[in-house]
């Protein structure tokens, strides 16, 4: 089977129902894949763009938790495929098709949609998480899966041994056959010939459809299972089928400035989310969003260009080492090493430093913000100071152990 035919016989399933509770109030009203990222995108745009750029154009997005903004984003920004060519991006909400339960785990989410999966008559299933930042050509992984004759292929990334307790770790032989799997081990197996490096699962899998269908049905009847790919099915497969490791370095779309550090981020905590955004304000970010050969797509709206006003002493509209998105107005204020998402206004005499300001926020005059994440649609009152007094910040907003303060409109409304 040639690769183009294999792509057309592959169904990509993006698991996008997660709450992302470690992002605190950022996910009170949206699922984690719908969280804004990198100035103009949402996290879901990255796996979706990878699919399109890889030639995978049969895509199902499985949703559950507070999915309205995610559904709206996908419907408005990702409806350009040709159904007459059997291309589609469909939203598959949790519908309790197999009983009264909502999705109980990643494997159960796919199991509950088996009727629709079987109707599409695919030969391969690509399983993706909807909440990671990276650029990968899945067709390379698919080609390797087919040529190896594997039942399952697991995408893996190299991590230092000291970080292995944060991942599911694969033990592989010289032929990249997975011979053991350990979830967050304290004494992890290392890679052949690399005693300081472990091979961690990325939560990206390719299955032969018939094989997956049979095992999902079996797992659904196992009351002892948590119905999760990483916790239950992958460990079960090891030693009982042909399961191969695919090295992320073989299919990553690499930033040429960082040839030895394949970019993949789980932005599941406030600190990781803030750091991923801050990276984009650097002269040469690790994540290259300017690669015209691998574009990251998103919903596009008509907005004016960003504008900077005033050039008076102590009242200069300027941005330094920052990303300022369309629709923003920086009026007589200074923005430094920050990310302003669409339609943000920073009013005169304010100073915004190392901040992530989500869409449609208004920062009043004479404000000082340092290491702050400002949620969408916030109106910061005139004279507000955040990021200079840890005790005061913790009393009014949410401040984590790394000194990053999260501000939402509900918190502002609760101020005395």
Domains with residue ranges and CATH for the chain? 3-279 (3.90.550.10), 307-413 (2.160.10.10)
Q: Are 36 and 376 in contact (CB under 8 A)?
A: yes
345-356 pLDDT tens trace: 999 999 999 999
How far is it, in rounded angstroms, from Cα 233 to Cα 243? 12
Positive/negative CA dihedral, 192, 185, 168, 162: negative
201 is in an annotated binding site: yes
103 is in an annotated binding site: yes
128-186 pLDDT tens trace: 999 999 999 999 999 999 999 999 999 999 999 999 998 999 999 999 999 999 888 98
Task: Out of 124-128, 187-191, 214-218, pick the least confident.
Answer: 187-191
351 is in an annotated binding site: no
Three-state DSSP string of the chain: CCHHHHHHCEEEEEECCCCCHHHHHHHCCCCHHHCEECCCEECCHHHHHHHHHCCCCEEEEEECCCCHHHHHHHHHHCCCCCHHHCCEEEEEECCCCCCCCCCCCHHHHHHCCHHHHHHHCCCEEEEEECCEEECECHHHHHHHHHHHCCCEEEEEEEEEHHHHHHCEEEEECCCCEEEEEEECCCCCCCECCECCEEEEEEEEEEEEHHHHHHHHHHHHCCCCCCCCHHHHHHHHHCCCCCEEEEEHHHCECCCCCCCCCCCEEECCCHHHHHHHHHHCCCCCCCCCCCCCCCCCCCCCCCCCCCEEECEECCEECEEECCEECCCCEEECCEEECCEECCCCEECCCCEEECCEECCCCEECCCCEEECEEECCCCEECCCCEECCCHHHHHHHCEECCCCCEEECHHHHHCCC
Strand partners, 405: 372, 399
* pLDDT of residue 96 exceeding 80: no
19-35 pLDDT tens trace: 889 999 999 999 999 99
163 is in an annotated binding site: no
pLDDT band at 102 (very low <50, low <70, confident <90, very high): confident
168 is in an annotated binding site: yes
The model carries a pTM of 0.95
* pLDDT of residue 99 exceeding 60: no
Question: Average pLDDT in the 66-84 region?
Answer: 92
pLDDT at residue number 86 = 86
pLDDT band at 372 (very low <50, low <70, confident <90, very high): very high
Task: Out of 82-96, 153-167, 259-273, pick the least confident.
Answer: 82-96
């Amino acid at each position: 089977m040639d690769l183009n035919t294999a792509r057309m016989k592959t169904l990509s399933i993006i698991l996008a129902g997660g709450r992302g509770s470690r992002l605190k109030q950022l996910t009170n009203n949206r699922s984690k894949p719908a969280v804004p990222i990198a100035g103009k995108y949402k996290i879901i745009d990255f796996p979706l763009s990878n699919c399109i750029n890889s030639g995978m154009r049969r895509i199902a997005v499985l949703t559950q938790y507070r999915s309205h903004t995610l559904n709206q984003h996908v419907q408005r920004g990702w409806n350009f495929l040709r159904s007459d060519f059997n291309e589609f991006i469909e939203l598959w909400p949790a519908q309790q098709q197999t009983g009264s339960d909502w999705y109980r785990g990643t494997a159960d989410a796919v199991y509950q949609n088996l009727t629709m999966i079987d109707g599409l008559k695919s030969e391969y299933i690509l399983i993706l998480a909807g909440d990671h930042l990276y650029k990968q050509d899945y067709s390379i992984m698919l080609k390797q899966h087919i040529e190896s004759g594997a039942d399952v292929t697991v995408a893996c990334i190299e991590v230092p041994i000291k970080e292995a307790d944060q991942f599911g770790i694969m033990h592989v032989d010289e032929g990249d056959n997975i011979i053991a799997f350990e979830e967050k081990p304290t004494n992890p197996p290392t890679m052949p010939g690399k005693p300081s490096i472990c091979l961690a699962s990325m939560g990206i899998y390719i299955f032969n459809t018939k094989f997956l269908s049979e095992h999902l049905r079996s797992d659904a009847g196992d009351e002892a299972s948590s119905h999760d790919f990483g916790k239950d099915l992958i460990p079960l497969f090891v030693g009982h089928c042909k399961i191969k490791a695919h090295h992320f370095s073989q299919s990553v779309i690499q930033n040429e400035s960082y040839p030895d550090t394949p970019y993949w981020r789980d932005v599941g905590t406030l600190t990781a989310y803030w750091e991923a955004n801050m990276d984009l304000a650097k002269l040469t970010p690790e994540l290259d969003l300017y690669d015209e050969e691998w574009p990251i797509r998103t919903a596009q709206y008509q907005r004016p260009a960003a504008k900077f006003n005033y050039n008076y002493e102590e009242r200069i509209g300027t941005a330094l080492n920052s990303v300022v998105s369309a629709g923003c107005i920086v009026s007589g204020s200074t923005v430094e090493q920050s990310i302003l998402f669409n339609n943000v206004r920073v009013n005169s005499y304010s100073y915004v430093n190392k901040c992530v300001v989500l869409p449609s926020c208004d920062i009043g005059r004479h404000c000082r913000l340092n290491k702050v994440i400002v949620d969408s649609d916030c109106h910061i009152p005139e004279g507000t100071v955040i990021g200079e007094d840890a005790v005061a910040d913790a009393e009014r907003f949410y401040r984590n152990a790394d000194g990053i303060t999260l501000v939402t409109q509900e918190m502002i409304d609760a101020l005395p």
